[in-house]
Structure 1
Amino acid sequence: MPTDKTTSTTGKSPDVSQILRVADPATAGHYDELRQAGGLRPQWARFFEQSGLARPGEFDRRADDIAAQVRENGITYNIYAETGGHARPWPLDLLPFIIEEDDWARIAAGVAERAALLEQIMGDIYGEQTLLKEGFLPPALVQGHPGYLRPLIGAKPPGGTHLHIAAFDLARDEQGEWWVVSQRTQAPSGLGYLLENRLIVSQLFPTAFRDLNVQRIASAYRHLLDRLKEDAPNPDPDEPTRIVLLTPGPYNETYFEHVYLAHYLGIPLVEGSDLSVREDRLFLNTMYGLEPVHAVLRRLDDDFCDPLELRSGSSLGVPGLVQAMRAGNVLVANALGSSFLESTAIHGFLPGIARRLTGKELSLPSLPSWWCGERAALEAVLPDLGKQVIKATYPGSAERPSFEPVIGAGLSEEQRAHWRGRIASDPDAYTLQTFLPLSQSPTWDRKGRIVPRGTMVRVFAISTGKGEWEVLPGGLTRIAAAGQNSVSMQRGGSSLDTWVRTQGPVDTFSMLPGRIRPEDIGRGRRLVSSRSAENLFWMGRYSERAENGMRLARTAIQAMTSPETPPPSALASLHRLCLTSGLVPYGTPSPGEARDIFLRSLLASLTDANAAMSVRFCLTSLVRTADHVRDRLSSEHWRLVLQTRDGFVPRPTRRKGMPLFTPAEALVSLDRLGMELAGLTGAQTDRMVRDDGWRMLTIGRQIERLSFFSSALEAVFGSDSQPSDEALDFLLTLFDSTITYRAYHQRRLQVPPLIDLVVLDPNNPRSIYRVLKVIHRQVEKLPDSAAGASADLLAGVPPYEPTPSLSSLCSRDLLGGWSNLLELTGNCASAARMLSDEIGLRYLSHTQGGESAYLS
Structure 2
Amino acid sequence: MNQDPGDSLFDALLPEQPGEWAQSLAMPADAGHLDELRGDGPHGLATPWADFFEHIGQEGLADLNRRAENLQRQIRDNGVTYNVYADEGGLQRPWSLDLFPMLVGPADWAQIEAGVHQRARLLNAMMADLYGPRELLKRALLPAALVQGHPGYLRAMQGVRPAGGTWLHIVGFDLAHGPDGRWWVVGQRTQAPSGLGYLLENRIAIARQFPKAFAGLRVQRLAASYRALMDGIKAIAPEGENARIALLTPGPYNETYFEHAYLARYLGLMLVEGNDLTVRDQRVFLKTLGGLEPVHALIKRLDDEWLDPLELRADSTLGVPGLLQALRAGNLVLANAPGSAPLESSALLGFLPAISEHLLGEPLAMPSLATWWCGEDAALRSVLPLLKGGVIKPTYPRSGLETAIGQALGARELDEWSGRMARRPEDYTVQSWLPLSQTPTWDGERILPRSTLLRVFALADGTGSWHVLPGGLVRLAPRGQLVAAMQRGGSSADCWVLTDGPVDHATLTQSQPSTFAIAQQKRPVTSRAAENLFWLGRYTERAENTVRLAEIVLDQLDGEEPGTPALLAWLSAVARENALVLPDAPDATQSSRVFARCLMANLAPPPHDPQAGSSFSVGFNLGALKAAASQVRERLSREHWKLIELTHAGFMGSAAQLAEDAEYATGEAQSMLQEASEMLAAITGSQTDRMVRDDGWRLLSVGRHIERLITLSRALALGLETGSLHEPAGFEAMVALFDSTITFHAQYQQRRDMVALIDLLVLDPDNPRSLAWVVKTLRARLARLGQNVAPQDAEFARELPDPAHWSLTELSHWQRDGDGQRRWSALASVLADCEIAAMDLSEAIARLHFSHADRRSQSLSA
| TM-score category of the 2 structures, normalised to the smaller one | over 0.9
Given the superposition, is the C-alpha separation of residues 327 and 19 from structure 1 closer, same or farther in structure 2, using an over 3 Å criterion? same
User: Secondary structure in 1 aligned to 2:63?
Assistant: helix
Secondary structure of 1:282's partner? strand
User: One-letter code of the match for 1:706?
Assistant: L
The 1:644–1:850 alpha-carbon spacing in structure 2 relative to 1, beyond 3 Å, is closer
Contact 1:23-1:450 within 8 A present in 2 as well: yes
Mapped to 1, the partners of 2:134 and 2:628 lie a distance apart of 46
Q: Secondary structure at the match of 1:590?
A: coil
Letter of the structure 2 residue corresponding to residue 527 of structure 1: P
Match of 2:425 in 1: 427
Q: Deviations over 1:545-573 (max 9, x none)?
A: 00000011111122232232211122111
Give, in whole Å, the separation in 2 of the partners of 1:851 and 1:626: 13
CA distance in 1, matches of 2:432, 2:856: 53
Distance 1:401 1:838 in 2: 48
Query: Which residue does the alignment assign to 1:77?
Result: 82
Alignment equivalent of 2:839, drawn from 819, 826, 833: 833
Contact 2:218 2:498 in 1 (8 A): yes
1:200 is matched with which residue: 189, 199, 205?
205
Query: Could you tell me which amino acid in structure 2 is paired with residue 74 of structure 1?
Result: G
Partner of 2:824: 818
Secondary structure of residue in 1 paired with 2:117: helix
- 8 A contact 1:246–1:297 mirrored in 2: yes
Query: What is the aligned counterpart of 1:844 among 840, 850, 853?
Result: 850
**1:212-252 alpha-carbon deviations (Å, 9 max, x no partner):** 22111100000101111112223xx8x93110011111111
Deviation of the 1:204 alpha carbon: 2.1
Which residue is 1:401 aligned to?
Answer: 400
Residues 1:664 and 2:639 aligned together: no
SS of structure 2 residue aligned to 1:35: coil
> CA separation of 1:347/1:770 partners in 2, compared to 1, >3 Å: closer, same or farther?
same
Name the residue aligned to 2:558.
Answer: 561
In the TM superposition, what are the counterparts of 1:564-713 in structure 2 within 5 Å? 564-608=561-605, 609-610=610-611, 611-650=614-653, 661-713=664-716
Separation in 1 of the partners of 2:793 and 2:658? 55
SS at match of 1:465: coil
Q: Is the 8 Å Cα contact of residues 176 and 452 (structure 2) preserved in structure 1? A: yes
The Cα offsets for residues 95-114 of structure 1, whole Å up to 9 and x where unpaired, read as: 11111112111111110111
Amino acid at match of 1:205: F
| Preserved CA contact (<8 Å) 1:214 1:501 | yes
State whether residues 219 and 510 of structure 1, in contact with CA within 8 Å, keep that contact through their aligned partners in structure 2.
yes
2:153 is the counterpart of 1:148: yes
Give TM-score, length-normalised by structure 2. 0.93
Distance 1:181 1:154 in 2: 30
| CA 143–165 in structure 1, closer or farther in 2 if over 3 Å, else same | same
Looking at structure 2, the residues matched to 357 and 841 of structure 1 have their Cα atoms a distance apart, in angstroms, of 56
2:461 paired residue among 460, 464, 473: 464
Q: 1:157 aligns with which of 162, 173, 187?
A: 162
Q: Distance in 2 between matches of 1:436 and 1:267?
A: 40
Aligned to 2:6: none
1:450-488 CA-partner distances (Å, limit 9, x unpaired): 111101111100112343111111111111110112101
Write the letter of the residue equivalent to 1:747.
Answer: Q
Separation in 2, partners of 1:715, 1:255: 45
Give ranges in structure 2 of 5+ residues lacking alignment.
1-9
Structure 1: gaps (5+ residues): 1-7
Q: Does 1:139 align with 2:138?
A: no
Q: Which residue of 1 aligns with 2:299?
A: 297
CA distance in 2, matches of 1:518, 1:273: 29
2:290 pairs with 1:288: yes
1:445 matched to which residue of 2?
Answer: 443
1:797 and 2:800 matched: yes
% identical aligned pairs: 48
Q: Give the 5 Å matches for 1:306-345.
A: 306-345=308-347
| Match among 270, 273, 283 for residue 271 of structure 1 | 273
Residue 653 of structure 1, CA deviation? 6.6
Partner of 2:823, secondary structure, is: coil
Amino acid in structure 1 at the alignment position of 2:598: S
Distance across 2 between alignment mates of 1:617 and 1:192:
32
Deviations 1:132-153 (A, max 9, x none): 2221111112122111112222
- 1:115 aligned partner, one-letter code: A
Going from structure 1 to structure 2, the CA distance change for 1:95 and 1:653 (only over 3 Å counts) comes to closer
**2:416 aligned with 1:410:** no
Secondary structure of 2:627's match?
helix
> For 1:52, what is the secondary structure of its paired residue?
helix
Give, in whole Å, the separation in 2 of the partners of 1:486 and 1:54.
35
Equivalent-residue separation in structure 2 for 1:613 and 1:469 (angstroms): 53
Equivalent residue in structure 2 for 1:484, among 481, 486, 496: 481
Map of 1:107 onto structure 2: 112
CA apart distance, 1:158: 2.1
Q: Is the 8 A contact 1:13 1:52 kept in 2?
A: yes
The letter for the 1-side match of 2:163 is P
Listed one character per residue, the Cα deviations across residues 489-508 of structure 1 (whole Å, up to 9, x for unaligned) are: 12232222111111111111
State the one-letter code of the partner of 1:824. Answer: V
Report the Cα distance in structure 1 between the residues aligned to 2:502 and 2:272, rounded to whole angstroms.
38
Counterpart code for 2:206: V
- Relative distance call for 1:659 and 1:627 in structure 2 (3 A) is farther
Superposition deviation, residue 56 in structure 1: 5.3
Q: Does 1:216 align with 2:214?
A: no
1:248–1:739 CA distance, 2 compared to 1 (3 A): same
* 2:381 alignment partner AA: E
Q: Distance in 2 between the 1:117 and 1:505 partners?
A: 29
TM-score (norm 1): 0.94
For residues 217 and 99 of structure 2, what CA distance do their matches in structure 1 show?
17
Q: Structure 1 residues 368, 783: closer, same or farther in 2, change over 3 A?
A: farther
Q: Which amino acid aligns with 2:831?
A: T
Q: What secondary structure, in the 3-state scheme, does the structure 2 residue paired with 1:718 have? A: helix
> Equivalent residue of 1:148, what SS?
coil
Distance 1:782 1:19 in 2: 62
1:30 corresponds to: 33
Kept in 1: contact 2:67–2:209 (CA 8 A):
yes
Distance in structure 1 (CA, Å) of the matches to 2:381 and 2:266: 51
Match of 2:250 among 245, 248, 251: 248
Measured after TM superposition, the shift of residue 654 of structure 1 is 8.7
Measured against aligned partners, the alpha-carbon deviations of 1:156-195 in whole angstroms (never above 9, x if no partner) come to: 2222211001010000111111100010001111111111
Give the superposition deviation at 1:54. Answer: 4.0
> In the TM superposition, what is the alpha-carbon distance from 1:317 to its structure 2 partner?
1.4
Q: CA deviation at 1:716?
A: 0.8
In the TM superposition, residue 280 of structure 1 has moved relative to its aligned partner by 1.6
Question: Could you tell me how far apart the structure 1 residues matched to 2:715 and 2:532 are?
Answer: 26
Return the offset for 1:786: 8.3
Per the alignment, do residues 307 and 784 of structure 1 end up closer, same or farther by CA in structure 2, a change over 3 Å counting?
farther
Deviation at 1:520, TM superposition (A): 9.5
Q: How far does the alpha carbon of each residue in 1:817-841 deviate from its partner, in whole angstroms, 9 at most, with x for none?
A: 1111111111111111121122222
Match of 1:69, as an amino acid? Q
The one of 97, 107, 129 equivalent to 2:102 is: 97
Shift of 1:517: 11
Distance 1:524 1:496, change over 3 A: closer
Deviation at 1:620, TM superposition (A): 0.5
**Deviation (angstroms), 1:657:** 10
What SS is found at the alignment partner of 1:197?
A: helix
CA distance in 1, matches of 2:205, 2:719: 56
- SS of 2:320 mapped into structure 1: coil
Q: Distance in 2 between matches of 1:72 and 1:751?
A: 48
Q: Deviations over 1:428-457 (max 9, x none)?
A: 11111111100010111112x111110111
Q: Is the 8 A contact 2:658 2:664 kept in 1?
A: no
Q: Residue 248 and residue 524 in structure 1: after superposition, are their counterparts in 2 closer, same or farther (change >3 A)?
A: closer
Residue of 772, 776, 779 corresponding to 1:776? 779
